[in-house]
Chain A
C-alpha cells in the first residue's frame, strides 16, 4: 500500500517523526539548557510545518502567519491564566476573567477558533492575485501587532502578559511537532494538496483544468493557520510570558528563513531548515556569550547570530534558490516526481 506514490507523504512523516523521536530521546538525557534549545526548535518546527502547508503547496509567500501564533498565544493566555492575575493585568468581561481552563482544553478551543478567524481573513485575501496576496499577509501581521500592542483590556497592551502556565516541556513540544508533521502529511495525500500544487505550477492552466484556485488556497490557508496557532500556543507556554513583540518581525524572519533554507516545497525541507537554522543560531549564540579555549576567552560581538542567519539565507537563495532539498522528500521507496534523481536517504 505504501508503494502508492500518492501516499508517500505519510512515509515521509513517519520517518521525520522517528528522527524527531530520536532527537527528543537524546535531549531527554542532555543538560537543561540544551533541552530548552531542542524544545524551542521543536516549537518552531511546528510553526514552520504549518507555514509549509500553505506556502509549500500554493507557492504563495506569506509574511503573516506569525500573526496566527500571536492570536493563538493570546487566546490561550486568556483562557489559562489564573483569574487573580487576569484581574491585575487585564480588563476582561466577568465570565472570561473567571474562566480558567486546563491547558489541553484551551488548546482544543483555540486551534479551531483560529481556524475560523483564518477562514474569515483568508476569504478576501485568497482572491488576490500576484504580489497582492503576500502583501496582504504582511498587512495581517502589522494589524495584529498593532492591535496586540494597544488592546490593553485583552492583551495587556505594551505590558507583558506574565505568569502563563509553562507546560511546554520536551514531550509536549515533541507531541506538537509530531502532530503538525502528521497533519501536513495527511493534507499532502488529499486531493486538495495536489490541486493546489497544480496552481502553484501554473495558475492559468490550473483554472483551465477546473481547479478553483481561490478555494484550494483558502483550505490550505486555514489548515496552515491552525497548525501555526498551535505552535503559538506552545511557544507562549514555553516562555511563560508574551508581548506583542514576541510575535513580530524577528520570528517571521526566522521561520521564513527556516522554510526557505530547507526547501519550501518539501516537508523534509522544512524539517532540515529548522534543524540547520536552530543549530547555527545556537552555535553563534554560544560564541556571542563567549567561550574559553584553554585559558583564552573568545567572545563575538552581539548581533553576530542574526547576521549569520541572514548570510545563510542569502547564500542559499543565491546558490540553491529552491532550498537545500528542493522538492525532494525522504521516503522508504524510491520513485519521485522530482526533476533530478538525486535524493537524500531515509
Chain B
C-alpha cells in the first residue's frame, strides 16, 4: 500500500478494512467529509396498508459510533433501514444527514453520499465475480477503473477472499458471500454503514471475524455503524449504545447494562435469552 492506508493489522486470518486517505473521494465528493457527522431519524412512521410497521421512531447515529438496533422478528428493523436508504418512503417523519433533510434523495444518491447498507439476504451480484461486485462500488463513487479495481482487490484480500477474486459471487459459500456483501459496502467508503443482521448464518469463528471487521470500520475512518443483530452477545460486545424496537415502537435506548437491566426489554425480548 503506497499511500497512507489506515490498515489495522489484527490477529487472525483477516485484517480489517481500511481507507486510503490520499485518494480522490473527498475531492470528488466534498460533502462527505464534514457535514455528515450525524444521521438522524426524526419521528418516522411507516404504514403498510393497515399495518403500522414503524410507529413514531426517532434515532440518532454519530460518526464513529456503533449503535445496536435489536428487536424481535417483525419489529421493523429492516423497514427502518429501508427508510434510511430511500427504498421505503416514510408515511410521516424525516431523515437527516448532517442536518440536511434527505427525503428527496434517491437510494443511489444516498449510497454515493456515504449512507450505505448491507442486506439481510446479502443480495450479491451473483453472476459477477467477487472482484466485480466490489469494483462496482468504487466506480459508482467516481473512482477510475484502475483505482476501483485496486481498491476492490485490497479490500477483498483483507477480508480473506484474496484467492476468490474471480469466482462468481453466487457460487461462494454463505459466509464468504456475506463478506463480499460487506466488502461491497466498505468499498462505497461509507460515512454511515447500516448492517442488517450481518452475522445471521455465520459460525462462531466467522462471527469473531465480523466483530473485528465492524470495529475496524468504525475506528479507521470514524464511520458510524447501525448494527442490527439477533445474537445478543455480539451486540453487547460491539455497541456502547443500543436501541430496542418492538412492534414498530422504540421500547428503550441505553447502554448494554441499562438494556440488560430494563424490565420492559427483559419481558419483551431478552426474556428467553438472558435467562
State which of A86-94, A134-142, A201-209, A228-236 sits at the interface with chain B: A201-209
Which residue on B lies nearest to A335, using beta carbons? B166
A-B Cβ contacts below 8 A, count: 97
The reply to whether B108 and A212 form a contact with Cβ atoms under 8 Å apart is yes
Contact with B along A316-336 (1 / 0, CB 8 A): 000000000001000000011
Which residue on A lies nearest to B181, using beta carbons? A205
Cβ < 8 Å to A, chain B residues 119-142: 119, 123-129, 131-133, 135-137, 139-141
The reply to whether B127 and A327 form a contact with Cβ atoms under 8 Å apart is yes
B18 at the interface (CB under 8 A from A): no
Q: Which of A210, A211, A212, A337 sits near B129, CB closer than 8 Å?
A: A337
The reply to whether B149 and A209 form a contact with Cβ atoms under 8 Å apart is no
Contact residues in B for A207 (Cβ distance below 8 Å): 87, 106-108, 111
A30 at the interface (CB under 8 A from B): no
- State A204–B145 Cα separation when bound (angstroms): 23
**B155 → A minimal CB distance (Å):** 14
A5 at the interface (CB under 8 A from B): yes
State how many residues of chain A have any CB contact under 8 Å with chain B.
Answer: 27
Footprint of A on B, CB under 8 Å? 85, 87, 106-108, 111-112, 116-117, 119, 123-129, 131-133, 135-137, 139-141, 145, 148-149, 166-168, 170-171, 184, 188
- State A153–B37 Cα separation when bound (angstroms): 64
Chain A interface mostly? helix
The reply to whether A208 and B116 form a contact with Cβ atoms under 8 Å apart is yes
The reply to whether B135 and A194 form a contact with Cβ atoms under 8 Å apart is yes
The reply to whether B119 and A208 form a contact with Cβ atoms under 8 Å apart is yes
Contact residues in A for B141 (Cβ distance below 8 Å): 210
A339 at the interface (CB under 8 A from B): yes
The reply to whether B166 and A202 form a contact with Cβ atoms under 8 Å apart is no
- State A205–B117 Cα separation when bound (angstroms): 9
Q: Which of B129, B136, B167 sits near A195, CB closer than 8 Å?
A: B136
The reply to whether A210 and B108 form a contact with Cβ atoms under 8 Å apart is yes
Contact residues in B for A265 (Cβ distance below 8 Å): 127
Contact residues in B for A6 (Cβ distance below 8 Å): 145, 149
- State A191–B135 Cα separation when bound (angstroms): 10
Q: Which of A200, A201, A202, A208 sits near B111, CB closer than 8 Å?
A: A208
